[in-house]
Amino acid sequence: MFEIGFSELLVVGIVALLVLGPERLPVAARTLGRGLGQARRAMHALRTQVEREIELPDLDSAPLQRLEQEIRQGIRPKAEPANDAATVAVPKENAS
């Protein structure tokens, strides 16, 4: 994957030994190994889930289309006016 050879690994190991020291190097290697293992398991779980989703049979879209049409019909505004202009503006006679 990364195409790292033995010489590159040896250099990384020597630098890690110099930076961390012989006391902390095993703990760091163990932590790194656990992290890589968790990442590998997560990627495997994600891959299996995606493959499972791809293999699902196609859903019948007819009920979904009917539901969409019903929703769209319910949203359409009515063409009828709500109130007649003559009934809204009723003049008051001498309202003193």
The pLDDT tens digits for 17-63 are: 899 898 999 999 999 999 999 999 999 999 999 888 887 766 677 88
Is residue 93 one of the residues assigned to a domain? no
- Chain mean pLDDT for the chain: 80
Task: Tell whether 86 is covered by a domain.
Answer: no
* Residue 25 near residue 13, CB atoms below 8 Å: no
Question: How would you classify residue 21: left for phi > 0, otherwise alpha for psi between -120 and 50, otherwise beta?
Answer: left
Specify if 87 maps to a domain.
Answer: no
Q: What are phi and psi of 19, to 5 degrees?
A: -75, -50
CB atoms within 10 A of CB 28: 13
Question: Contact, 20 vs 28, CB < 8 A?
Answer: yes
Query: Does the residue 94 lie in any domain?
Result: no
| pLDDT band at residue 95 using 50, 70 and 90 as cut-offs | low
Distance CA 82, CA 84 (A): 7
- pTM for this prediction: 0.46
Q: What is the pLDDT of residues 72-94, one digit of tens each?
A: 888 776 655 555 555 555 555 55
Residue with tokens 């012989």: 22
Instruction: Classify residue 90: in a domain, yes or no.
Output: no
- Domain count along the chain: 1
Residue 67, domain member (yes or no)? yes
